[in-house]
Structure 1
Amino acid sequence: MAFGDSSRYQSKTAMSEINVVPLVDVMLVLLIIFMITAPLLTHSVKVDLPKASSSPNLTQPEHIEFAIRADGSFYWGGEPVTLDQLPSRFAAAVEQSQQTELHIRADRDTHYELVAKVMSIAASAGLARIGFVTDPTGEQQP
């Protein structure tokens, strides 16, 4: 018998099958643990909570309805305005109330540059609350 003879081991290949028995054992143990602990999670402590009645706060802050059309025209509450008039109008609105909000309605095809200019002018005038008004239905209009 030769100790250095490795010819009999060269013909055997490495075992490449996955042994799933330990995996099944672990999964069964986890299943049993979850089956035991699941009913314990549904128990709750009965607490008699206090009853309170409140009405929603209906005070609405002042807001500016501002529209931008795709052709580049601006509308302040339905009234046409120019880009040069905006800084003074925004400043006057901020002087009236610090809580004034700017609601921008822009056409779908409006250039972002126009929207960014209006937002920049509003922010420099002191308007901190700027929002966009969208169509909640999501339907495209012709």
Structure 2
Amino acid sequence: MAMSVGDNTDTPMSDINTTPLVDVMLVLLIIFLIAVPVVIQTVKVELPKVRFDPTTTKPENVSLSITSDGSGACKVYWGMTPVTHQELLDRAVAKLKAEIARQGGIGNPDLELPEAHVRGDVNTPWRCIGGAIFNMQMAGFAKVGFISEPPPGTGVTRL
């Protein structure tokens, strides 16, 4: 380390002594190097290796498309038919009841309930999509999923 003793002038030194700053920073660095491995605790989990799997469309599943116009009004489509939120709830309840009756009722151990697949426009406010999901869950649909478009270049390879 160098030390300035002055040059026999009566002007004060304008250099900042950085030695205490460097000492504090080194101590903090050592503390963080010791503390970080203690704080970060992870459970070793092997996650599944999954490529993009195409959605299996069953005829009993419900396909919803949700958009909004320029004024922010929500537009919900059941298949290709526009529906209001009350019509969505009524149709969902009727669809679920009909599907349960078709499969033999609640007592059937192999009962497979239909799913709701939501396609939401990227520019649609969340309240529109959330409202449709809420209506489907109120109707009794246990599985509500989102349909998305995979990034370019990550398509499915056909075997």
User: What secondary structure sits across from 1:136 in the alignment?
Assistant: coil
Q: Report the equivalent of 1:92.
A: 94
User: What secondary structure sits across from 2:64 in the alignment?
Assistant: strand
Question: Which of these two proteins has the greater Rg computed from alpha carbons?
Answer: 1
User: What secondary structure sits across from 2:141 in the alignment?
Assistant: coil
TM-score (norm 1): 0.52
Unaligned runs of 5+ in 1: 1-57
1:73 to 56, 72, 75: 75
- AA at the equivalent of 1:115: I
Kept in 2, the 8 Å contact 1:65–1:77? The answer is yes
Q: Report the equivalent of 2:149.
A: 135
Kept in 2, the 8 Å contact 1:70–1:106? The answer is no
Aligned-pair distance for 1:89? 0.5
Report which structure shows greater RCO (CA 8 Å, sep ≥6): 2
* Structure 1 runs (4+) greater than 2 angstroms displaced: 58-61
- AA at the equivalent of 2:139: A
Aligned-pair distance for 1:121? 1.0
- 1:98-123 Cα deviation digits (max 9, x unpaired): 51110000100111111111111111
Calculate the aligned-residue CA RMSD, in Å: 2.2
* Structure 1 residues 138 and 93: CA distance shift in structure 2, 3 A: farther
Partners of 1:59 and 1:137 in 2: CA distance: 21
Unaligned runs of 5+ in 2: 1-55, 101-112, 154-159
Q: How many aligned residue pairs are there?
A: 82
Kept in 1, the 8 Å contact 2:66–2:75? The answer is yes
Would you say 1:82 and 2:96 are equivalent positions? no
- AA at the equivalent of 1:96: A
TM-score (norm 2): 0.47
